[in-house]
Chain A
């Protein structure tokens, strides 16, 4: 079966760095997405990785290891507005997104 695993909840301090991990098992693989979802709102796109390595975009970076079926999202210089759920999703061989349940990130002052 297809499966995405990510932690249910994480807590971090304002100004710090946090890494949210995601492991995936899919039938075929065509890339890995990260989305941010604030409570009561729609998901919004953060990043896409299809090749191994780190993609940096401002305070946010995303890493992919295809051989390990593993990705992480790295958030630096955390701000209170980063409190949200972070959704990991893998694109399978049919180009359908398989979604994780999301990681709720709580930022404390």
Chain B
């Protein structure tokens, strides 16, 4: 693979269930991010990781957790899904957390519906 992949592509989930969204990149990027995108709103950062072994909270972290055991993988877990977590979730990565012109590369997204 080349780039960043996400799984599943889409999922319908009953409220209260636990769900893990997977994200893998093969670009050896230090930084990784999880966003949600809702109609009429900008991308909102859920959690991020500046390097393997570290994570941080973004703008909307409640109800979500992440881990970064290695450089390539950055799973996002919903411990007990609620309908307000219905959204499109994008994983992204960048070469360095120190910004500059380091663009973020996005995965194809996961469309999650919580009923």
Contacts and interface: CB of A to CB of B under 8 A. Distances in A.
Interface of A: 4, 30-31, 33, 41-45, 48, 50, 87, 89, 91, 95-102
Interface of B: 35, 40-45, 48, 58, 90, 97-101, 103-109
Contacts of B107: 42
A50 B43 contact: no
Given A4-B42, A42-B106, A101-B41, A96 B98 contact: no
Nearest to A101: B42
A101 B41 CA distance: 5
Given A43-B90, A89-B43, 10 more contacts: A4-B42, A30-B99, A31-B99, A31-B101, A41-B109, A43-B43, A45-B105, A50-B101, A97-B104, A99-B35
Contacts of A100: 42
A95 B56 CA distance: 13
A91 B99 contact: yes
A43 B107 CA distance: 9
A92 to B, nearest CB: 9
A42 B90 CA distance: 8
A43 B94 CA distance: 14
Most chain B Cβ neighbours within 10 Å, of A42, A50, A91, A100: A42
A6 to B, nearest CB: 9
Contacts of B103: 33, 45, 48
A67 to B, nearest CB: 20
A48 B99 CA distance: 11
Nearest to B43: A99
